[in-house]
Chains A and B, each alone.
Chain A
Amino acid sequence: MTAETRVRAADDTEAPLVLRGRTVVPGVVEGEALVSHETISGWGGIDPATGTIIERRHELCGVCFTGKILVFPGAKGSSGWSGFFQTTRLLGTAPIGMVFTVTTTKAALGAVVTRVPALSDLDRDPTELLRTGDRIRLDADAGLVTLLRRGPVAE
């Protein structure tokens, strides 16, 4: 509720929404956000060949993350996580950036071997403040995520 209000106020005044976090993998990228409110599994959770989330109970089941900035709470499940995301890089289906809230070895190593800019431990919850389809700038060198433009509202 408060988050929504804050975002709308930010939109109205055209002051950009900026989140601050800790650098996991340096680099700068701009692109479309794909926001998951649920943690993501690597092994058994994604198909590296298509860059798609396949966990049946997952809110994003069937959604492709290739070329998107993946915004998610963190990694769960098997230790195959990093290997699966590394494979998305080798097969050309990787996301172009990662923003996550909870640092775990799976997510940190996963971001390292996917070799995309990544931030974690943000000052506010990115999965609440950002929406799928938003255009964002991820400056992992400076530790900033900036909302550039709201995407079309889903419902």
Chain B
Amino acid sequence: MILTDDERGMRDGAEGPAVAAAMDLLVRYGEALGAEHLCEVRNVAGTTTQPSPAKARLVAEGGWERAFSVINLDSDETLDVPPMRVPTCQLQQGFGADAHGVPYPAEFVDLQSDAEAFYGRRGVNILATCTPYQVGNLPVRGEHVAWMESSAVVYANSVLGARTNCEGTASTGAASLTGRIPCWGNHHVTNRLGTHLVRADLPVRSFRDWGLFGYFVGDLVQEARPVLVGELARPDLTDLKHLGAAAASSGGIELFHLPGVTPEAPTVEAAFGGRVPEAVGYGPAERRTVYDRLNDQGDREEVDFVLLGCPHASLDQIREAARLLEGRHVEAELWIMAPRALKAVADRSGYTAVIEAAGGRILADSCPAMSRAAPEGTRVFATDSAKQAHYLPAILGIEAWFGTTAECVDAAVTGRWRGELR
């Protein structure tokens, strides 16, 4: 890999051992990819504060310096951690001290609080959400960034037109200290053109519709770049968030194009940069298959737990949940996951009060999958998120139902799943 003079300097220790270790990791990683050089980034979204047993052990051995060195720089040495070289934010993490009653280890709450102090002092913005783009972190079109979190990556590439690969804990750690990431994959314009044309032959309108369509598309094209056309209503932020997260769960999609909606696809032809391939159709049979697949982990109709807000809820979703819950009372536990900054707005707007009056709650910072935590005794959960329906059964060993937000709220109120695809 070709390095600039500055990069060679960093690798050789001109800016201290932590930066040298970061550059060493980036070189090993760049070579693993077959990248020819690095590109400059000044927006990193990674994870340092999220507790785990392995991290707790490293912190006990040698403090946060040790945890950062081993996990975020892939170094065997324990190195002093300098301030972040470029703006860096913390993605979703564990639960905080205000998540009363959530079965989550108290030592992890303390560990995370300690981590926030350590990394905050070094310039990590503790956004604590999988949707940094909802709380002020909006890279501009064409900007090279280094983000992890598959649902945020697909949003940044597709909806914002920023350029990032699906980075990991170590590569974002190294990027935060160097302002560099391998220039490979999605960083090259030629790798951003569409590869597959997928046509919806039935209306895709609701939040659930976008999740089902995304889950279908991800399974269909895996790591490729789909261009989506057909009977698509104009999506909003919430729909696009669900579409991308679903597509990045059933497959590894990091970039999609919606001609007329997303910035790199003014037209279908522009999305492909020339020849348009034949379309694959998404009709009633395909939708039924996807729906059944997302619901094949559900057996018992008694629902103990309802989860909304994956990826973290938008204000519209929180307000919608409040509207559906108004004057009702939940039988099952109902959690809505949201960015802390948006929860503050929900509190102020009175949505939280309505949700809490119904017996539900808004929780910030984390989610059941990240923190491996659901209400005590949960055997069956329901969600309006294709991503959580995909992952949570494996992570927590529970049954899953997937449906609309209204079906989920009904399940919370009645304690029974009565969702269906009409």
Tell me if chain B binds chain A.
yes
Which residues of A does B touch, CB under 8 Å? 22, 24-25, 39, 43-45, 48-49, 54-57, 74-83, 86-87, 90-91, 102-106, 108-113, 118
- Find the A residue at minimum CB distance from B297: A56
A118 touches B223 (CB 8 A): no
Q: Which residues of B contact A75 (CB under 8 A)?
A: 252
B394 touches A105 (CB 8 A): no
Q: Which residues of B contact A49 (CB under 8 A)?
A: 53
A90 touches B54 (CB 8 A): yes
Complex: how many Å from CA A104 to CA B165? 9
Q: Which residues of B contact A83 (CB under 8 A)?
A: 47, 71, 168-170
B222 touches A39 (CB 8 A): yes
Supply 12 A–B pairs (Cβ within 8 Å), ascending by A: A56-B393, A76-B223, A79-B166, A80-B169, A82-B169, A103-B33, A104-B185, A104-B223, A105-B168, A109-B167, A112-B32, A113-B74
Smallest CB separation, A54 vs chain B (Å): 5
Q: Which residues of B contact A86 (CB under 8 A)?
A: 71, 74, 169-170
Q: Which residues of A contact B25 (CB under 8 A)?
A: 112
The yes or no answer to B121 lying at the interface (CB within 8 A) is no
Given contacts A74-B252, A103-B33, A105-B165, contact A79 B149 (CB under 8 A): yes
B52 touches A105 (CB 8 A): no
Complex: how many Å from CA A110 to CA B29? 9
Q: Which residues of A contact B170 (CB under 8 A)?
A: 82-83, 86, 109, 112-113
A104 touches B252 (CB 8 A): yes
Most B Cβ at <10 Å: residue of A24, A80, A118: A80
- Find the A residue at minimum CB distance from B395: A44
B252 touches A56 (CB 8 A): no
The yes or no answer to B211 lying at the interface (CB within 8 A) is no
The listed residue (B52, B153, B249) touching A87 by CB distance below 8 A is B52
Complex: how many Å from CA A39 to CA B218? 12
Smallest CB separation, A16 vs chain B (Å): 26
Complex interface bits, B99-142 against A, C-beta within 8 A gives 1, otherwise 0: 00000000000000000000000000000000000000000000
- Find the B residue at minimum CB distance from A58: B394
B28 touches A112 (CB 8 A): yes
Given contacts A24-B32, A44-B395, 9 further A-B pairs with CB under 8 A are: A44-B392, A76-B252, A77-B249, A78-B248, A79-B153, A80-B169, A83-B168, A109-B168, A113-B74
B252 touches A44 (CB 8 A): no
Smallest CB separation, B248 vs chain A (Å): 7
